[in-house]
Each structure stands twice: as C-alpha cells, then as structure tokens.
Structure 1
C-alpha cells in the first residue's frame, strides 16, 4: 500500500458508507463488526447483530451456506462473490479473507444493486431464495410474474407454460391482488427491483430470518399509483 494511504481508517470509512453493508464474521460464525448499511440491508434492529453469532439471527440454511462460503475463502485465501435473493431483493456479497494473530475472519461487503462488477474473483449463487413480500405468491404465480416481468405478453406466457391465455390472465389478476400492483409495467418494474430471473424459480424457498423483521420495506408497492393490497 502506498505510504500516504496507510493512515486511512478504512473501517471508519465503511461505517459511514450508506449503500454498502459491511460485516466481519469470525470462522466460528461470530459477528465481530457491522455497519448501519448492513442493518438496513438485512432488516434487523441496531442491536440485532451486536455480539451475536449468525446462528442467533438467521435460519439454519442461511447460516450453513454462508459459513461454507466463509470456509472456502479462508481455506483458499482468496475472495469469493455470492449472489443471493434476500427478502425479495437481489444482493451481491463479496467475501474477503482476513487473519489477525491466530484468528480467522471473513470481511463481507454487500450491495443491493445486484450488478456483478468485473474482477478476477470466484462467483457462486445461493441455492435458496428468500422472497420476502413475494412469498405470498404460489410457485405458478411466481413463474408467471417472472415471465411477464421479463417482457413477455400474456399470450407468450401462455405458450411458454402450455396454459390458456385466460388462465395466465387469471394468474396475473391474482398476483395484482396479492401484491397491490396491476399493470404489466408495474409487474416488470417489480421483477427488475427483485432481480428475479427464470433460473431462480427452482431454488428452494426459505426465510433467511425466522422471526419477523423489517425486510426491504421499499419493495412494495412499486409506486404510489398502485392499489393497496387487500386485507
């Protein structure tokens, strides 16, 4: 590192960063550090991560998969980048190895945009999907939502799914009732916000955080013109 950069407090800089979540996880799952952006991304309270282990906050599937990534990073001493849908939004987390004396850590930087930056880094994808507010949809409704959101018309979706246009239109109406949206444009924007693609449909559904939490409150409705969801 250049000499003039050595005095920079990088940890403090990330603590002030509003859009990139930072967490430091020890190889036993203990959460050593986090910033406010991480709390917002994962929808937990200010004290929800303090002095906690991943097992205290997240579901068993979530913890097992993330600790697999942490061990991969530490065993191979190289970074890893993982994409995962958390609470109905695509997140990208980059894991970096860090060692201090006899202790091993992974520094995790998480972004919401879902865009994979260029770079020589190993990529992986979660085998689970946390749909958050979209979990009210049935598997077929989610499939229809994604296909419509990818720019397909109702007749095109009916051909892709070997169902009648009337059936697809009925699914579209039910999706609108459940999510508080109505037009194709709103559904398309919703799918884009969530980062959903057809390859996500076979992934196993789960709740990353077992207990209720503030999960991406800005996901629904997609705009102020959308009708309210029925009670």
Structure 2
C-alpha cells in the first residue's frame, strides 16, 4: 500500500490515489477507502490530516466539510478528538501501533493507528464499528487502548440499571428471562424497557437490541463502558 504514497509530499485529499505501477497496492488501497466500509485517514507527525475518505466524518467524529490540512484536534474538537490527536503523535514518535476502543455517537468503534514507512513520519488511521470482541493479534504487536473519552449520545441518559437491561435485551433475553436474571418482577423489567425506549426514541425490542450491539455493550464490562452512576 505504501508504494504509491509520496515520500516527503502530501497525500491527495479526494478522488483516491494517483496512478501507480504497483497495481496490487493500488487495488488494495482503492478497496480499503471505497469498498470496505471503513474510515481511513492519513496524518502527519503533528496530527495534521493529509487524507480522509468519505467515511471519516461518520466513524471518526470529525466535523462535516473539507478536513484535509486541518489538525485532527481542530477537525474533531472534543475530548475524544484530542485523545486521538495525542495517540497519532505518539505513534509517529515511537512507531508503536495502537488499536483504540471507544464510543462515538453511541456506536462502539475500533480505530487502528499504524506508522507508514518513509520519511517524514505519517500515520495511517483506520476506523470501523467494533460490534464483536477485539481480535488480539500478537503477530502485529499493536497495543490495545481503551479510550478515556466516549461520546455515547442518548445512551448517557440511561441509568446503570437500564444499561444492564439493554445489554440483556441485546443478548436476546426475553422479559421473563431478564426478570429472573436480575431478581426483579416482569412488570419492573417491562417498565424499564419502556423507559429505555422513550429515552432512545425507539419502540420495539429489535431496535433496542440493535442499539445495544452497535454500542458494544453486549459483550463488554461496566468498567470498560464507564457507566454513569
């Protein structure tokens, strides 16, 4: 993939990579930025954005509109954005790859940051939904980091008990099964389910289950979620 990336130059901000004699690298890059449904950015050592594909706005929480030439902290002026900015600089400085787990707009995300070959240093950032448990691939020696900052959207309005019930709904448990697991009455569980639906603006269990899975709360701990108390 690095075959077409210019050493010491800037990466094009739109329209994909320039022509390259390395057809395999070009095909891989084109598939990554257009076909894989992932957000892709390339940033310099100071976290200035050199390239961003269309999915970057949605997955990485950056503001709409042109972002090439902006520092990541300015394109995503949130605590989560500043945290990613620090990680980009760290990867550029140390060469150690990082995989970050966090929540953006209520959706659990997994963001990989890896140093590209060549000089000056550039960092490839790839982000995708993290619905499943992470794969700890020791062969690539990436450090897995749980973000300190999450942007959960409407999920932040839920109580810890409602989060617990939403998680069990996401696992496919019926009201009677949830009541038994939590030692509560079915009426109480149903009351919580209605409250959750009102807060998240959905009316059925299927949509609640999708939200739970998309947010990544089905298979992770309360500590990882840093639930509100």
State the TM-score, normalizing by the size of structure 2. 0.70
1:105 maps onto 2:127 in alignment: no
For 1:204 and 1:27, locate their aligned partners in 2 and report how far apart those are by CA, in whole Å: 30
1:127 maps onto 2:130 in alignment: no
Secondary structure of the residue aligned to 1:128 is coil
Kindly provide the CA deviation profile for residues 92-129 of structure 1, in whole angstroms up to 9, marking residues without a partner as x. Answer: 2111113653x322110112354545742323332333
Change (3 A) 1:9 1:198: closer
Counterpart of 1:218? none
Change (3 A) 1:59 1:166: farther
Q: 2:162 is matched with which residue: 141, 144, 168? A: 141
Worse-matched range after superposition: 124-133 or 152-161? 152-161
Change (3 A) 1:87 1:200: farther
Q: Are the equivalent residues in 2 in contact too, given 1:83–1:114 (CA < 8 A)?
A: no
Unaligned 5+ segments in structure 1 are 207-231
Secondary structure of the residue aligned to 1:94 is strand
Q: Are the equivalent residues in 1 in contact too, given 2:160–2:227 (CA < 8 A)?
A: no
Change (3 A) 1:29 1:161: farther
1:190 Cα offset (Å): 2.6
RMSD: 3.5
Counterpart of 2:51? 33
State the TM-score, normalizing by the size of structure 1. 0.69
Counterpart of 2:12? none
For 1:198 and 1:6, locate their aligned partners in 2 and report how far apart those are by CA, in whole Å: 40
Q: 2:220 is matched with which residue: 176, 199, 202? A: 199
How many residue pairs match? The answer is 204
For 2:178 and 2:94, locate their aligned partners in 1 and report how far apart those are by CA, in whole Å: 44
Secondary structure of the residue aligned to 1:36 is coil
1:193 Cα offset (Å): 2.9
Change (3 A) 1:27 1:205: farther
Counterpart of 2:75? 57
1:70 maps onto 2:121 in alignment: no
Counterpart of 1:45? 64
Counterpart of 1:220? none
Q: Are the equivalent residues in 2 in contact too, given 1:74–1:106 (CA < 8 A)?
A: yes
Secondary structure of the residue aligned to 1:166 is helix
Counterpart of 2:204? 183
For 1:205 and 1:62, locate their aligned partners in 2 and report how far apart those are by CA, in whole Å: 16
1:18 Cα offset (Å): 5.9
Counterpart of 2:187? 166
Unaligned 5+ segments in structure 2 are 4-20
1:174 Cα offset (Å): 1.1
